[in-house]
Amino acid sequence: MATAEKKRPRSSSGGGGGGGVEKRPSRKQILGRKKAVEELIRKAVAVKDHLAQFPDFHKYQRNGLLVYLESGHGNQLPLSTRKYIQNLLKVNMEGQYGPEWPSEEKIKRREMVAPEARYIFVRQSSNAITTQNIMKQDSGLEFTHEACNEDRLIGFVHYRFVLEEDVPVVYVYELQMVPSAQGKGLGKFLMELIELIACKHEGSADFDGVYMQSQMGAVMLTVQKANNLAMAFYKKLRYVISSTSPSRVDPLCLQIGLEKNYEILCKACESEAKSKLEEGN
């Protein structure tokens, strides 16, 4: 999805510059908000299985597909899954990146197994009835599915909880479907789930008299400008170019031919993030 680490958010505890607001917040408010945002990210990261909270997204049966979703963690991926991800990335993205692919591939391999990396996998079962029964239980999804060796992975989304311009967001690092499963609504289904995970309220909205954010502010991602299909897909899903995207941060680069080959897109959950990240769209 992205070309280099530099365009990814730094880390869940890092921070950006932040835009100007009408009223200057007090030091107490700034510290309170920082603490609240960090706590929010900590809570989101602590959830073992985000998918378990959304039973409507355990199964997808449309357009000739019958598939099941399951969650995973970057530092717990079996070797076969790591190989699968590497292969699918190569199939889908090598052509997009051209000569940049070898260096990009190295970065993606590192990102893939990071402890912060969270996954939703799409699995096509060779034994639909058995799996369907298993899926009815809300817990233990990862374990039950690992046992089904004959199931076939046909896509995945890799996401993380990070700070972007002081706004806690869900950042989509990868969204990939095998070619035969593309155009059947699965990408949209996965992004709807990611948006629900991002916009789910956690905890209280007040902390020591200071407003406390109770959900992620937005979903964000990076797309190669040349990836017309993905650009059109995200546009259809109402993603817009973020105020943090290179083309908006430094439009002068466009004029002098130093423009970046990617855009950062976002979709805000709430009005504060909307004004910070989507401003001007």
Contacting positions for ligand COA (CB under 6 A): 1, 92, 175-177, 182-188, 223, 227, 229-230, 232-233, 236
Residue closest to ligand COA (Cβ):
187
> CB-wise, 40 or 186, nearer to ligand COA?
186
Which residues fall within 8 angstroms of residue 211, CB to CB, at 6 or more apart? 29, 33, 36, 205
Residue 24 CB, shortest distance to ligand COA, in Å, is: 38
187-214 exposure pattern, b = at least 16 Cβ within 10 A, e = fewer: bebbbebbbbbbbbeeeeeebeebebbb
Residue 187 CB, shortest distance to ligand COA, in Å, is: 2
Which ranges of the chain does DSSP label H, i.e. alpha helix? 27-46, 79-97, 101-112, 128-135, 141-146, 186-199, 228-236, 246-249, 252-255, 271-273
Residue 243 CB, shortest distance to ligand COA, in Å, is: 19
- How far lies 183's CA from each of 34, 47, 48, 189, 269, in Å? 41, 31, 30, 11, 26
Closest CA to 157 of 248, 217, 218, 219: 219
> CB-wise, 32 or 72, nearer to ligand COA?
72
How far apart are the C-alpha atoms of 68 and 155, rounded to whole Å?
A: 11
Residue 2 CB, shortest distance to ligand COA, in Å, is: 8
How far apart are the C-alpha atoms of 85 and 91, rounded to whole Å?
A: 10
How far apart are the C-alpha atoms of 130 and 148, rounded to whole Å?
A: 10
> CB-wise, 60 or 161, nearer to ligand COA?
60
> CB-wise, 176 or 242, nearer to ligand COA?
176
> CB-wise, 167 or 223, nearer to ligand COA?
223
Segment holding 120, helix H or strand E: strand 118-124
Rg of the Cα trace of the chain?
19
How far apart are the C-alpha atoms of 137 and 121, rounded to whole Å?
A: 18
Residue 174 CB, shortest distance to ligand COA, in Å, is: 7
Residue 17 CB, shortest distance to ligand COA, in Å, is: 25
> CB-wise, 141 or 265, nearer to ligand COA?
265
Pairing of strands 59-62, 152-164: unpaired
Residue 98 CB, shortest distance to ligand COA, in Å, is: 14
> CB-wise, 192 or 272, nearer to ligand COA?
192
